A and B are shown apart, each in its own frame.
Chain A
Amino acid sequence: MIWDNAFAISIIPMLLKGLWVTIQLTLLGTLIAAVLGLVAAVIRRLQIPVVSPAVSFIVIFIRGTPLLIQAYVAFFVLPIYGISFNAFTTGVVIIGINYSAYMAEVYRSGIQGVPNGQWEAATALSLPATRVWFRIILPQAVRTVIPMLGNYLIQMFKDSAVLSAITVVELMATAQSIGTSTYRYLEPLTMAGALFFLVSYPASRLVNKLERRYAPKQ
């Protein structure tokens, strides 16, 4: 198969549309992961009977099963029980929940990294628990978490290709469908890969910068 330049140029608009869907998936998925992960980490730390162990179990379960299976179950099995959303919504929620299990771990280490003296000073000042979490502990914990959050965002950007399996028309699915309809796979797949790289490479450079900026000062 020989590279066809004219064909390659003609499919650029379609691929960019797919890329835009991928970016939306990633940003919304990261938002869900960042919030749910934080909630899970705090609940685990609070050691609430029944609730905290339950959350721990869910986190471990999600981490122990492939994203692809989770996506299939949500898209093909849950509708049998009356729970169904469109492919994009399902995809965003599933990848968000999946990554929240990893983010929970990152937040956990961030929270653990806040020195004990901070909790003790908060107790000595009689600060209420919500204030301690939102004003004292989390701002310090999240600081160390920011670069990791960036890494997961980039990973999710690439992983979201898996969601083509549940018919989310993102970049990967767009390239595949161009391939099946034109019988030319070389250009769409190569260019989809190139587009992934063009976004993820600068992004990872940016994350490196953040890493240096938020590295613990010593």
Chain B
Amino acid sequence: MHPNNDPALSDIGLAETVLSGGPRTDRITGMPTGSAPIVAGGPIVAFDNVSKNWGDNQVLKALNFNVNPGEKVSIIGPSGSGKTTILRILMTLESPTEGQVNVDGDVLWDVKLGDKIRESKVMRATRRKIGMVFQGFNLFPHMTALENIIEAPVHVLGMNKAEARDRAAELLQLVGLGTHMNHTPPQLSGGQQQRVAIARALAMRPKVLLFDEPTSALDPELIGEVLNVIRNLANSTDMTMLMVTHEMRFAEEISDRVVMFDHGSAVESGPPEQIFKNPQEERTRAFLQAVLKH
């Protein structure tokens, strides 16, 4: 899909780890690599007529939105347009007011079923296929980087501790923090914390990884190291990635598709070349003009 030739990758030890792995299996998701995303089974994420209201404020408006397996999708749009809400509904941190959400063929949300879907077996099983990287990292501050990463594999997947540690060490290597295993979040910079958070999410081998403005809370000089890690993931895995971002250049570079949101609706969706070079919608044009001005 994308050539893996970013010189910056070697800085954080990503290039060696991933490239030396060869084409056998994906070191992160454990799935076969090299092939183009297989779309035969239908979308991996499907929003079907999903609405979300906060009182009178309709944040999502009968949204229909699909993501195909392996697709890297960036969501852009003005603040308050409902971008975060989409990710939070997928992560089950928020419930929709209307509609249905399916992930990998399984029900995550179905408002018709009422309250019994919430924290049901089905939802919990489906949720395990999804991971999320938060704007504010949300690492567990009283645990080391390693402990943060092995917690869920050991206590959710039932992996034995030794194996989980080995994998965590590998993942930390992958995000360029192989030497920071025993650091706690307060001992790490924002950029390092976010990279640990990415490793923590990857440790659960999610099929879909969500990013909510992963670099918005970072000092400018720390943004690059996090983007490099995400770029490398996008280039080297078949994992589906759904990212809300204000980094337009980055979105253009790594995405298969960019979706423009405004007032709770997908206004325009298309390949990055279309969205950034030749937007079809006036609102997309206006938004890009406003954010790219400076």
Contact = CB atoms under 8 A, between A and B. Distances in A.
Interface of A: 115, 117-118, 120-121, 123-128, 131, 135-136, 139-140, 143, 217
Contact of A126 (B128, B134, B141): B128
A128 B200 CA distance: 16
A125 B152 contact: yes
Given A120-B93, A121-B139, A140-B141, A128 B156 contact: yes
Closest 3 CB pairs of A and B: A121-B138, A125-B152, A117-B138
Nearest to A135: B151
Q: Which of B127, B130, B136, B140 has the most CB of A within 10 A?
A: B140
A123 B91 contact: yes
Contact of A120 (B138, B155, B204): B138
Given A117-B136, A135-B151, A140-B142, A124 B131 contact: yes
A124 B197 CA distance: 11
B201 interface: yes
Which of the four size classes fits the interface of chain B?
20 to 34
Contacts, number: 55
B156 A127 contact: yes
19 contacts: A115-B138, A117-B138, A118-B138, A121-B134, A123-B91, A123-B92, A124-B91, A124-B132, A125-B151, A125-B156, A125-B204, A126-B127, A126-B152, A126-B204, A127-B155, A127-B156, A131-B155, A135-B155, A143-B142
B124 interface: yes
B200 A125 contact: yes
A135 to B, nearest CB: 7
Given A124-B91, A126-B128, 20 more contacts: A115-B138, A120-B91, A120-B138, A121-B134, A123-B91, A123-B92, A124-B93, A124-B130, A124-B138, A124-B201, A125-B151, A125-B152, A125-B201, A125-B204, A126-B124, A126-B152, A127-B151, A128-B155, A131-B155, A140-B141
B34 interface: no
Contacts of B201: 124-125
B134 A120 contact: yes
B80 interface: no
Contacts of A120: 91, 93, 134, 138
A133 to B, nearest CB: 12
Contacts of A123: 91-93, 127
Majority secondary structure, A binding face: helix
Interface in B88-145: 91-93, 124, 127-128, 130-132, 134, 136, 138-142
A131 B128 CA distance: 16
Given A124-B132, A128-B156, A118 B93 contact: no
A136 to B, nearest CB: 6
A140 B139 CA distance: 12
B224 interface: no
B32 interface: no
Interface in B163-206: 186, 200-201, 204
B141 to A, nearest CB: 7
A120 B133 CA distance: 11
A118 B148 CA distance: 12
Contacts of A115: 138
Contacts of A143: 142
A131 B153 CA distance: 13
Nearest to B134: A117
B26 to A, nearest CB: 21
A128 B21 CA distance: 33
Contacts of B127: 123, 126
Contacts of B92: 123
A140 B155 CA distance: 19
A131 B158 CA distance: 13
B39 to A, nearest CB: 26
A127 B130 CA distance: 13
Contacts of A136: 140
A121 B152 CA distance: 11
